[in-house]
Amino acid sequence: MIALIRALWAYRGFILGSVKREFQSKYRNSLLGAAWTILNPLAMILVYTVIFAEVMRSRLPGVDNSFGYSIYLCAGVLTWGYFAEIVGRGQNVFLDNANLLKKLSFPRLCLPVIIIGGATLNFAIIFGLFAVFLVISGNFPGLSFLAVFPLLLILILFSIGLGITLGVLNVFFRDVGHFFSIFITFWFWLTPIVYPVGALNENVRAILAWNPMASLIFAFQDIFVSGKWPQWQALWPISLLAIVLCMVGLRLFRRHAGEMVDEL
């Protein structure tokens, strides 16, 4: 592990440069350039606020706040979007960089780190705007906001562990990527993001207990909607699963790194 960290540190210029190039390439030929990174999420937050807080007058059970449902929805959607971007790019990371892997010699795990860097940059911009909205609307959660950072660490570990595992398998079995693209759609709707968990019956709630993302989404929603600290004991399963997935992903990568290049 120490050797791996040293190798990644030695190629930090390559990693940072790749993240920068990816970010710039998205808006290279647009008139407004990087301004779209602010306009797109800002439009999303405004739509959620206007539609759900003003037009639909949606309410959450036990939450007496006109912005309650909008904040609930934004907290879930932003968190899920971060997770989906890392996993989605992770499952194709080795396929998308096949030419790079075959022509250059560098620590292959730089690629997952680049994915994390790019996704985190995008998320930081969107999340920063969301935080500004909370402050302006008078709904900033206070000190419990600090709990966001350990939650994000758990989310990153879980996402990249799952992404690397799927990425290695996808090189040898291309159906893995196609299957997961369908599966993640069902996974989204089986996670209480759009609807409150209180709207479900007890049998369905028991099934949600097996959804590793549900407890993490709950934690973010508790912080932003109610200003509560997360129930840390409920996060142990996904934390352990994240560590296991990272170990499995690294082991698969190390055992099949040479075979992957031949397969690509």
C-alpha to C-alpha distance for 122 and 105, rounded to whole angstroms: 28
Helices (H) and strands (E) in the chain, counts: 12, 0
Q: 34 near 27, Cβ under 8 Å?
A: yes
pLDDT for the residue numbered 218: 92
Q: 155 near 147, Cβ under 8 Å?
A: no
pLDDT for the residue numbered 34: 54
Q: Which residues pair with 135 in a beta bridge?
A: none
C-alpha to C-alpha distance for 164 and 175, rounded to whole angstroms: 16
Domain boundaries, the chain: 33-263
Q: 93 near 163, Cβ under 8 Å?
A: yes
pLDDT tens per residue, the chain (264 residues)?
677 777 777 777 888 888 888 777 776 655 555 566 666 666 776 777 677 666 655 566 666 777 788 888 888 888 998 999 999 998 988 888 777 777 767 777 888 889 999 899 889 988 888 898 899 888 899 899 999 999 999 999 999 999 999 998 988 888 888 889 899 989 998 898 888 877 777 777 888 878 999 999 999 999 998 888 998 998 999 999 999 999 998 888 888 777 777 666
pLDDT for the residue numbered 154: 96
pTM over 0.85? The answer is yes
